[in-house]
Amino acid sequence: MITINKLSLRYMKWMQEQRRYENLTYLALWGMLFAVPVLSLYIRTVNDADYAFNWDELFMIWRQFAIFLLIFLIHNFFLAPLLVYKHKRALYLCSVAVITGLFIVFQCSHRPQGGNRPAPMNHPSMEASQNPPFGDDFGRPPHEGEMDNGPMPLHGELGNKPMPPHGERFGGPEDRMGPKPPAFMGEHDIVALIILLLMLGMNLGVKYYFKSRHDAKQLMVLEKENLEQQLEYLKYQINPHFFMNTLNNIHALVDIDPEQAKDTILELSKMMRFVLYEGDKKGVPLSREFEFIRHYVTLMRMRYTDKVEVKVDLPTETPDYELPPLMLITFIENAFKHGISYQRDSFIHVKAAVKGSSLYFECHNSKADKPNEERGGVGLTNVKQRLNLIYGENYTLNIQDEPDTYNVELVIPLA
């Protein structure tokens, strides 16, 4: 449980860092966006000595950016979580539609007079309308001096063409007053709407990116917590299983030699100290694991006669590597439990060596005359599960169950 709690605390700390990175990303993007107009105006003042830095123009641009920033904050902290984390698509779409509608109304209501582009002040129609050649709107003929191009042409000179309407004569109201404003949305409004939708899409993309990282991290943490729980469960199974077999051996030895049974209890106390203080750790030094195996073999030798050949070849000096506790003892325990025959000579050979960054372990033993139905029971099954959980496919376990011998070869990485 302590390991799982540590994993949860590390996960919560990682989540806080991810939120901080996301907010810093937004802050950097908006900071650069607000800095661009300042840099642009500064470059213009440097390149053009007659141009002065226009703060009014800068504040006008910033006011437009502030509208987008306000909508972004509402979308980022209130609307986007509805879709990304809570999966409320209908509520999200309705909210975005309302925000977009309000934005369009705001843009259209704050459109400059005369449309998106002001009418040119030197338009020819404007000059003509200021001094109409055919009199004013009430049909009054022009006064003397109003005609710049000579006398008024006679009726015959005009021909038989009918007089055009008043609006057409002077270029129409559009020519006199500038471009007619759009009925609903102008070009500037459409561009602003596109920018708004792209901004909201970008916000969703960033949200989904950090959510995918969050989901992957959460899955990894859950798998690691599940792994730790399974390992703890296997440890709690191995320890009682091991002590049960050891106590049975001591019980048999008490009937044979009580004095030797006392020495056996001392060896058992050393082994219990290792299990109590080292068994809960993730890894123990190789020297401690090999020492534990020597104590166990010493204890088991007291029970059997010289008909049982027990050879143990373990390195006396080991590199600074660690091994999961009680990983190798299960195979040796299995050899003593199922490989000793009281009718004929038996043997148990244990060997371990460190080659490079791998541990090579071998355990060979004879088989009893009467096969034991418990062969490969709880202990051997659990150690296989531990190997799978810890090393995955990075280890090699080869077990050969011959008619007269039982051979185990194990190679596990240490680095």
* Structural fold of domain 257-413: Heat Shock Protein 90 (3.30.565)
| pLDDT class of 96 with cuts at 50, 70, 90 | very high
Q: What is the arithmetic mean of pLDDT over 85-90? A: 88
- pLDDT tens, 328-358? 888 988 888 888 877 778 899 999 999 988 9
pLDDT given for residue 327 in this prediction: 82
Q: Minimum mean pLDDT among 138-152, 188-202, 250-264: which range? A: 138-152
Structure tokens belonging to residue 165: 């309407």
Cα–Cα distance between 263 and 297 in angstroms, integer?
13
Distance of alpha carbon 197 from its chain centroid, rounded? 26
Confidence of residue 90 (pLDDT cuts 50, 70, 90): very high
Residue 379 pLDDT grade (very low, low, confident, very high; cuts 50, 70, 90): low
pLDDT, greater one: 27 or 303? 27
301: burial class by Cβ within 10 Å (0-12, 13-18, 19+)? Answer: middle
Which of 333, 343, 338 is CA-nearest to residue 307? 343
What is the distance between the alpha carbons of residues 123 and 87, in angstroms, rounded to a whole number? 57
3-state helix, strand, coil in the chain (%, to 5): 60, 10, 30
* pLDDT tens digits along 116-130: 444 444 444 444 444
Please give the mean pLDDT across all residues of the chain: 76
Contacts of 286 (CB under 8 A, 6+ apart): 315, 318, 319, 321, 322, 323, 354, 359, 414
b (16+ CB within 10 A) / e for 22-49: beeebeeeeeeeeeebeeebeeeeeeee
Check residue 124 and give its pLDDT: 44
Least confidently predicted of 27-41, 147-161, 304-318: 147-161
Alpha-carbon separation of residue 187 from 109, 117, 135 (angstroms): 14, 10, 39
Residue for token pair 């534990």: 292
pLDDT of residue 385: 78
The SS3 call for residue 359 is strand
Range from 87-96, 165-174, 236-245, 401-410 carrying the lowest mean pLDDT: 165-174
Q: Could you tell me which residue, 375 or 290, shows the higher pLDDT?
A: 290
Percentage of the chain lying above the pLDDT 90 cut = 20
Burial status of residue 354 (CB atoms within 10 A of its CB: 0-12, 13-18, 19 or more): middle
**Would the pLDDT of 39 be above 80?**
yes
Best CA proximity match to 332, nearest among 301, 287, 373, 357: 301
Domain ranges of the chain: 2-117+182-218, 124-177, 257-413
How much is the pLDDT for 213?
A: 85
User: In this structure, are residues 7 and 228 in contact, taking their beta carbons and an 8 Å threshold?
Assistant: yes
Q: Are 327 and 278 in contact (CB under 8 A)?
A: no
The CA-based angle 77-206-100, given to 5 degrees, is 55
Residue 237, pLDDT > 90, answer: no
What confidence score (pLDDT) does residue 180 get? Answer: 54
Mean pLDDT of the region 192-216: 88
Q: Provide φ and ψ at 137, rounded to 5°.
A: -70, -20
- Which pTM was predicted? 0.46
Burial of 367 from C-beta contacts in 10 A (0-12 / 13-18 / 19+): buried
d(CA 216, CA 221): 9
Strand pairing category for 308-313 and 346-355: parallel
Q: Which of 37, 189, 213 is nearest to 104 (CA)?
A: 189
| pLDDT tens, residue by residue, 64-83 | 899 999 999 999 999 998 88
Banded pLDDT at 314 (limits 50, 70, 90): very high
CA dist., res. 117 & res. 171, Å (int): 19
Long-range contacts at 177-183 (CB < 8 A, ≥ 24 apart) = 177/114, 177/119, 178/114, 178/115, 178/118, 178/119, 178/120, 178/123, 179/114, 179/115, 179/116, 179/117, 179/119, 180/115, 181/111, 181/113, 181/114, 181/115, 181/116, 182/115, 182/116
DSSP conformation letters of 247-298:
HHHHHHHHHH-HHHHHHHHHHHHHHHHHHHHHTTSS-EEHHHHHHHHHHHHH
- In this predicted structure, which of 39-48, 166-175, 282-291 has the lowest mean pLDDT? 166-175
Per-residue pLDDT at 50: 78
